[in-house]
A and B are shown apart, each in its own frame.
Chain A
Amino acid sequence: MKELIKSLVEAFGPSGSEDRVRDLIAAEVGKVAREVRTDALGNLIATVGSKGAGGRRVMLAAHMDEIGIVVSHIDAKGFVRFGGVGGVFRLALIGSRVRFADGRIGVIGSEQKRVEGDLPRLDQLFIDVGAKDRDSAPVKVGDVACFDRPFVDLGGRLVAKAMDDRIGCAVLVQVLKELGETPHEVHFVFTVQEEVGLRGAQTSAYGIDAELAIAVDVTTTGDTPEARTMAVSLGSGPAVKVKDRGMLSHPGVRRWLVETAEREGIPYQLEVLEAGTTDAAVMQTTRAGVPAGVLSIPTRYVHTPSEMVDYEDVLGAVRLLVAALRGPAEIG
């Protein structure tokens, strides 16, 4: 599964430009799924199984897009001003490298006047693409770029850009491959534009009209030096979400995941996230309401180019979802 993770995290895919990630995933799931389609906004939807006794129409979602930058202006000397695509983390920007769709690299520099000591604002930063002037700049206003950083395998722990949420995509692909018989009609949705407002999940959830929805996404941890209080740590198993800024999980879905983990002897943790949210927030309020929950992969340094996960947590998430989906969903 590490090869799959490596290829997914290194692919280019800021919100709105998920094509390459979609192609990679489509190639993986094409042989296994009953049907694979791309909808009007670009979500990739792979379907397996059909509703048997006690079965439901289930939507599983992981987002393909990653945070990035968009070119907003090129000045006379060829320096590129930019805006964020999704929630870019200013602390992680200076000295970072970005990669455009054509592979071209730029480095992020900062103005020096008026920012001494302080963290520069986004509009005080620029990208140097090595151009001499505006006309020779190889990019144009509206071009997007992702952060550039290779995948690293530290043994038990994996580091890369875009673990948020390619690790969720990898989990879904793996679940799809391992699932086999299921009483449910399961739609694996690889969503677009999560980082800019959960947009792909909103439309795909409406289209699928699910009876049960689970997002697989990353969550932050409280296990680093002087971290904010949070009872989630790396390596303690996937986290079953109770609450974040955008949703309160359906109690039945939460219980179903917890009971499955306990039955299967899979370590798990309960999660209350005080910032951020996931695709499940909009899946839950689709149409007349959908029972929704989240299975989170604990991740350090979220929204930096070096997001770290624990491989055992990832495998645990796959096992948990496979075990849950092979049986009926008793969500009360």
Chain B
Amino acid sequence: MKVAEFLKRITEASGVSGAEGEVGTIVAETFRTLADEVRSDVMGNVIALKRGEGLPSGEHPRVMLAGHMDEIGLMVTKVEDGFLRFTTVGGFDVRTLLGQEVLVHGRRPLRGVIGCRPPHVLTPAENERVVPLQELFIDVGYEEEPLRELVRVGDFVTVRREQIELAGGRLAAKALDDRAAVAAIGFCLDLLKKRRHQWDVCAVATVQEEVGLRGAITSAFGVAPHLGIAIDVTFGSQYGVPEYETVEMGGGPPIGLGPNFHPKVHERLVETAKALEIPYQIDPIPGRSGTDAWAIQVTREGIPTALLSIPLRYMHTPVETVDVRDIERTGHLMAEFICGLDETFASELGVQVRRLNGQGGPTCC
């Protein structure tokens, strides 16, 4: 699989949280060529099953890989005098919106621009001020009457952006958060086609992560995995952000460490990276990880969970930037880790029960 090509297709597709249909279709088509079964659930999560050979005992423990395919976006709140008022879906920096080109997903897709008033008419004080969301509008070039026929309250809006190849194997695009992870999962499944593994793999492209991990909450419940790995992006070193808040671009996948993650799974991922001589980074997270891993871990009776990240610059803008090698390494690392999952590891992760004396045992059923 060519990561950059798959990425181009999925990042240029639209899929704002709650409306992931277009990108989901492409992901499902691709996963169908890599896995045994693909289905989508009530929320729209795309779930691919690649069967393993099973343990010697005949059991088939499942590992869930989760990368979210939704992107942050906008939504029309009102049609007003031929202009569209809008709100955000997910965490936008409103400062990035002035002068962006957008696509309004109305009865048919409409090209539009987010207008701004020219400097000539602004006072110096107005120039200093961030234009708040309530004052922004989208102009699709139509007048009020035809516009009302084409656009309704609640229609989604995405930023228009084609993938850009930068020097040194880096790419810029919109929605790399978190389609870079979807690409890493695809790459991993592709590698697994030529490998033997005992555990079943449930690869999930989740929905609605940006508005509250909602797709992971329901898909993890449905899949009920024995081990969960979330793949997300994290802050790559960039201008204007202190070094201790970032990871190295091209430095390999950061592996999460902290309360959200099972220490044995973390350890095994590190050992696997070392054995493969894949560069990796340690990513200490003292609490809430803000990723699908946070939801997966507390599903049902508790699920051993890990997080692999992909370093990414300029998060939540339409010029998110990644190093393709980091995506490939993440895929390699997952594939190798999955091939090493066996019966021993399954029992180490399971609930440990100890009976203490002969008189115990439930007295009723």
A interface, CB within 8 angstroms of B: 222, 228-231, 242-243, 246-251, 254, 269-272, 274, 284-285, 287-291
Contacts and interface: CB of A to CB of B under 8 A. Distances in A.
Interface string B125-164: 0000000001000000000000000001110000000000
Given A242-B153, A248-B18, A274-B87, A289 B43 contact: yes
Contact of A228 (B89, B134, B208, B221): B134
B222 A289 contact: yes
Contacts of A269: 153
B214 to A, nearest CB: 5
Contacts of A250: 42
Contacts of B41: 288-289
Interface residues of B, number: 29
A202 to B, nearest CB: 12
Interface string B27-47: 000000000000001110100
B15 to A, nearest CB: 12
Contacts of A242: 75, 153-154
Given A274-B77, A285-B217, A231 B153 contact: yes
B68 interface: no
A288 B222 contact: yes
Given A246-B212, A270-B153, A287-B218, 4 more contacts: A231-B77, A248-B89, A271-B153, A287-B222
Contacts of B217: 285
Q: Which 9 A-B pairs have the closest CB atoms?
A: A248-B18, A242-B154, A288-B222, A289-B218, A289-B42, A270-B153, A231-B78, A289-B43, A285-B217
B214 A270 contact: no
Contacts of B341: none
Given A250-B42, A272-B87, A288 B77 contact: no
A272 B154 contact: yes
Contacts of B80: 229
Query: Chain B's interface: helix, strand, loop or mixed, by majority?
Result: mixed
Contact of A251 (B19, B79, B218, B222): B19
B237 interface: no
Nearest to A239: B153
B291 interface: no
Given A229-B78, A229-B85, A287 B221 contact: yes
B218 A285 contact: yes
Nearest to A248: B18
A227 to B, nearest CB: 11
A230 B42 contact: no
A248 B211 contact: yes
A248 B221 contact: no
A201 B123 CA distance: 51
A14 to B, nearest CB: 27
A46 B102 CA distance: 47
A248 B78 contact: no
B321 interface: no
Contacts of B218: 285, 287-289
B21 to A, nearest CB: 8
A291 B85 contact: no
A207 B257 CA distance: 35
Contacts of A230: 77-78
B152 A290 contact: no
Interface of B: 17-19, 41-43, 45, 75-80, 85, 87, 89, 134, 152-154, 208, 211-212, 214, 217-219, 221-222
Contacts of A249: 18
B77 A290 contact: no
Contacts of B221: 287-289
B42 A243 contact: no
Contacts of A272: 75-77, 87, 153-154
A105 B214 CA distance: 43
A243 B154 contact: yes
Contacts of A291: 42
B154 A290 contact: no
A231 B153 CA distance: 8
Contacts of A248: 17-19, 89, 208, 211
Contacts of B219: 288-289
A3 B136 CA distance: 45
Given A274-B77, A289-B43, A229 B134 contact: yes
A290 B217 CA distance: 12
Contacts of B214: 247, 284-285
A288 B206 CA distance: 13
A201 to B, nearest CB: 15
B78 A270 contact: no
Most chain-A CB neighbours within 10 Å: which of B41, B75, B153, B217? B153
Contacts of B208: 248
B105 to A, nearest CB: 12
Contacts of B154: 242-243, 254, 270-272
B222 A243 contact: no
A291 B42 CA distance: 6
Contacts of B42: 250, 288-291
20 contacts: A229-B77, A229-B78, A229-B85, A230-B77, A231-B77, A242-B153, A246-B212, A248-B17, A248-B19, A254-B154, A270-B153, A271-B153, A272-B87, A272-B154, A285-B214, A288-B221, A288-B222, A289-B221, A289-B222, A290-B42
A135 B89 CA distance: 53
B78 A243 contact: no
A311 B221 CA distance: 41
Nearest to B134: A229
Nearest to A290: B42
Contacts of B43: 284, 289
Contacts of A251: 18-19
A228 B78 CA distance: 11
A270 B151 CA distance: 12
B208 to A, nearest CB: 7
A243 B19 contact: no
A243 B17 CA distance: 11
Contacts of A274: 77, 87
A77 B97 CA distance: 56
Contacts of B79: 231
A203 B218 CA distance: 15
